[in-house]
Structure 1
Amino acid sequence: MRDEEILSGSLLEESWLTLEQLAAACTAEPAWLQRHIDEGLIPQAESVAGVWCFSSITLLRARRMRQLERDFDAVPELAALVADLLEELDELRESAAGGRPE
């Protein structure tokens, strides 16, 4: 898959992605994702019976980090910090909107 292709769709909150599915959705190699998990940069990852499972929140974080690393040549730790800040902004906007989507 090329970086220029746009993926669209919707994830159900109760749906889980595998490591390979999440990597594909981020246009990244599974090894990239595994490194970030091992370094603690993607904290929302869960291992169930030895199989990694990821939520839609993790997908958003991983995509943001991948884009920051690719577009700005950011080191993984900086991309994770920016992703933390963006997640915090999302939460503040949601609480300011009274919990309703904008």
Structure 2
Amino acid sequence: MKITMYGAEICPDCVKAKKNLTALNHIDLEYKNIIGDTATLKEFLAYRDHDAIFQEIKESGRIGIPFFILDNGEKTFDIGEYIDLPDETEDTEIPAFSCSIDKKGQC
């Protein structure tokens, strides 16, 4: 299964999701770092600005990452609804509030 993931290395949920997906042999992950270059950020913002899935995200002041697009075109913020992820108890070193505008810990 191919999955495109938009995220950022400063987002703890993104770091964890990328690590989990990379560990799965049956997943072809295309990771797109939205803070890596302007073109990728603009690509992500095009989804965020125009896709209905982001409405609640924008209204609550969140960014909307990690954001996943499945190979069938379906979009989600919760990849665990579509594939079995490995159980992981290890936390990332990045505090959850680091990618939250409102400092409430949700990206």
TM > 0.5 fold call: no
Q: Which has the larger helix fraction? A: 1
**With CA pairs under 8 Å and 6+ residues apart, which has the higher RCO, 1 or 2?**
2
Q: Calculate the TM-score normalised by the size of structure 2.
A: 0.29
**Which protein has the larger Cα radius of gyration, Structure 1 or Structure 2?**
1
Q: Which has the larger strand fraction? A: 2
Q: Calculate the TM-score normalised by the size of structure 1.
A: 0.30
